[in-house]
Amino acid sequence: TYGVVSSEWLNNTRSDTLYESKLDIQKSLHPVLIEVQATVDEKFMIRLMQYAIKVTERYDSKPVVLIFCVGKISPKSLSAQFTPIISDTCDHFHFR
């Protein structure tokens, strides 16, 4: 079981969402850091790494990081370094 916890950091920055395991028996589960970003660029990736370091320092465990890129990846060469989980359109969904 995971729950949302504060994602505000001492340097006055704030990540979008941070989840931690709520049960003592599940303390081996890694924290989950979620970011929603319009443009994923080098500046964002550096900021994300800083958030991940803060999470690691807080929990003594490396986080699972999930990025929702709702716009574009810039520069295009940056996208070549990552494999998208899903590259599919929503055409097959039927919205009412």
Write out pLDDT tens, residues 45-74.
Answer: 999 999 999 999 999 999 999 999 898 888
The reported pTM is 0.77
- Residues 6+ positions from 19 with CB-CB distance below 8 Å: 2, 3, 4, 5, 31, 32, 34
pLDDT of residue 84: 65
Computed over every residue of the chain, the mean pLDDT equals 84
pLDDT of residue 81: 74
Instruction: Name the one residue in this structure whose structure tokens are 């810039």.
Output: 74
Quick one: what percent of the chain has pLDDT higher than 70? 84
pLDDT at 90 over 80: no
Domain segments of the chain as ranges = 2-79
Residue 81: Cβ-neighbour burial (10 angstroms; 0-12, 13-18, 19+) = exposed
Q: Within a 10 A sphere around the Cβ of 65, how many other Cβ atoms?
A: 17
| Tokens (6 digits) for 7 | 């994602």
The angle at the Cα of 71, spanning 75 to 83, to the nearest 5 degrees, equals: 65
pLDDT of residue 23: 80
Question: Sheet of 17-21: strands edge to edge?
Answer: 2-5, 17-21, 32-40, 64-73
